[in-house]
């Protein structure tokens, strides 16, 4: 469930889900950059895209396990963007979701340094 005013739902288990919230000076531009990075992750299919929300499914290389990836710009003057990556199946993700979010933020940092 997504509420642009209140944000993404919290993770039900820290073993197969990662949720981060960051504050940005230009959240519109940052959201656009994060979406572009997310859409270029291998084996990612876009499910939904709006002016403040993006959702995709990322599949693992060998077994094609699906993970939901969500990015939301929260409707507030604070410039908050939330990112959530969660496994659809299994009790543990073996760190895949944390690595995915770390990758997104690392690539975002590269893009913003080049500008």
Q: Looking at residue 58, what is its pLDDT? A: 98
CB count within 10 Å of CB 108 equals 19
pLDDT digits 0-9 by tens, 46-79: 999 999 999 999 999 888 999 999 999 998 788 9
Q: Tokens at residue 71, please?
A: 């990015």
Q: Looking at residue 112, what is its pLDDT? A: 85
Residue 60: is it exposed, middle or buried by C-beta count within 10 angstroms (0-12/13-18/19+)?
A: middle
pLDDT digits 0-9 by tens, 34-50: 999 999 999 999 999 99
Q: Which domains does the chain have, with CATH numbers?
A: 18-114 (3.30.310.80)
61 vs 58: CA distance, rounded Å: 10
Q: Residue range 8-37: average pLDDT?
A: 95
């Amino acid at each position: 469930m997504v509420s642009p005013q209140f944000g993404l739902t919290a993770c039900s288990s820290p073993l197969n889900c990662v949720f981060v919230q960051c504050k940005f000076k230009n959240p519109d531009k940052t959201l656009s950059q994060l979406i572009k990075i997310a859409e270029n992750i291998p084996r990612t299919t876009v499910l939904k895209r709006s002016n403040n929300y993006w959702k995709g499914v990322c599949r693992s290389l060998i077994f094609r396990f699906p993970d939901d990836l969500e990015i939301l710009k929260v409707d507030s003057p604070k410039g908050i963007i939330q990112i959530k990556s969660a496994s659809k199946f299994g009790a543990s993700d073996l760190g895949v979701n944390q690595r995915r979010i770390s990758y997104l933020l690392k690539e975002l940092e590269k893009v913003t340094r080049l500008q």
